[in-house]
Each structure stands twice: as structure tokens, then as C-alpha cells.
Copies of this chain bind each other. A is one copy, B any other.
């Protein structure tokens, strides 16, 4: 049981808060049965009553909304350890679908909240998680609002890389989602994602190895190109000029 729990958080490079929040809240799922979800299948649907929360134990999940005729927005990807539905009040505001083969656990919303209310530590962890979700959503708003295709893709890759999944010996990065998923997450088309990736490859920033792996050749440049490097030049300049 404990092994299981730790396994879900094997990846390094998380903040202390994240680990704390994830760790303690994930204890609430340990009593639940593990459910396998095969790639492509839905875990919950937008509009349905949010009677459960889920934890991704293994695999990758996409959360998305459909807007108008066929336009899909992937608001987030969830990885091992992540909770699905923590920030919901009554209904699911997104559909959750397995990107890869997954294993998940579920708990009822009621029991989740009962447990959280019972423990200060869990409570803190829960608040912390909600705040992180908001922060992530804001980050994504910035990306969608002001970044060009290259910056978007570099941000995405850099973030994936910083998650440092187990498979990543040296600098080989697993990219479980397909091009369409990436496009729908970054607000681009599949063609633009492909072209941008080719361009990055030709500039020796990354080197695609098959559809689902990327060798990060130059992380420094990648970060630079992502547009949220701490080039304290620009940032401090602006900070000052605003006062």
C-alpha cells in the first residue's frame, strides 16, 4: 500500500508544497480499488454530476471542454499522483479522458470532504492544491494570450521536462500525448505544432525520436525560447518603470 503511494510520486522536481499536498491527500484514495482505464476512454463527462474525485495512479489523462462545433480545449493534463475534480462544486466542468493506459482510484465527493474537514493537515493540503490549480490556470492564460507558437511549444516541453518522469534517462523526454492533444492544449493546429517542432529540431534545440519521445538537446535555449525565462533584465526593468 505504502509502496503504491510512493510510486505515484516517484518523479522529482516538484515543490515541497506539491509533494505535501499530493502525498497527504492521496492517502484518502488508498482504500479505494484501483480501476484500469484503457487509452481513449473517458473517466467522467462534462455536465455530469461530480459525485467522485479521481486520482491518477498511473498514466496520463486529458481534461477538456468542447466549445461550439468541434472545437476542443484541453485545459490540463493530469499525471500520476494528480487529483481530478478537486476544484469542482457540483458538476464536472470538463471531460476527463485517458491519454494512455491508466490506473485510477476514486472516492466520493462527500467522503473526500468529510475526511478533509476532519484533519488540519489534509485541509491545508487541499487549499494548497486549489491554489496551485489556479496558478496553473493563470499561467496557461498568459501562454494563450501572449505567446507565439514557438514560445507555446517550448513552454510545454520545458514544463513536461521539469516534471522529470521516470523514463527520462538523461535527457530523453517521454511525450505521451499525440500532436492533436498538444495542439488543443496550446491553442494551435496540429500542423503548426508539427512545423514548430521541426524548426526547433533544425535549430538543435530538441531532437524527436519517434512520435512519443523527445531528446532535449539544449535545455537552456529551450527555456529561453519559452518566454518565461527569468531574464531579470526585462522583468526588473518593467517592475521599476511601473512604480
Residues of A within 8 A of B (CB): 17, 42, 45-47, 65-71, 73, 75, 87-89, 93-95, 117, 120, 123, 126-128, 130-135, 137-138, 140-142, 144-147, 187, 227-228, 234-235, 238-239, 242-243
Contact A66 B238 (CB under 8 A): yes
List residues of chain B with CB within 8 A of the CB of A66.
235, 238, 242
List residues of chain B with CB within 8 A of the CB of A17.
89
Contact of A146 among B73, B131, B235, B242 (CB under 8 A): B73
Contact B131 A137 (CB under 8 A): no
List residues of chain B with CB within 8 A of the CB of A65.
138, 142
Contact B238 A146 (CB under 8 A): no
Pick the 3 closest A-B CB pairs, nearest first.
Answer: A137-B137, A144-B144, A145-B187
* Cα(A132)–Cα(B90), bound, Å: 11
Contact B68 A146 (CB under 8 A): yes
Contact B142 A140 (CB under 8 A): no
Known: A137-B138, A137-B141. A69 touches B242 (CB 8 A): no
Contact of A87 among B47, B126, B130 (CB under 8 A): B130
Contact B138 A75 (CB under 8 A): yes
A2 to chain B, nearest CB (A): 28
Beyond the given pairs A87-B135, A126-B127, A137-B141, 13 more chain A to chain B contacts, judged by CB atoms under 8 angstroms and listed by A's residue number, are A45-B242, A66-B235, A66-B238, A68-B227, A71-B146, A73-B141, A75-B138, A93-B138, A95-B242, A130-B130, A134-B137, A137-B137, A140-B141
- Residue of A45, A134, A228 with most chain B CB atoms under a 10 A cut-off: A134
* Cα(A73)–Cα(B69), bound, Å: 28
List residues of chain B with CB within 8 A of the CB of A140.
141
A231 to chain B, nearest CB (A): 9
List residues of chain B with CB within 8 A of the CB of A138.
65, 75, 93-94, 137
Contact B131 A187 (CB under 8 A): no
* Cα(A239)–Cα(B47), bound, Å: 9
Q: List 12 A-B contacts (CB under 8 A).
A: A65-B142, A67-B227, A68-B146, A69-B234, A87-B134, A93-B135, A94-B138, A95-B242, A130-B131, A133-B134, A134-B134, A144-B144
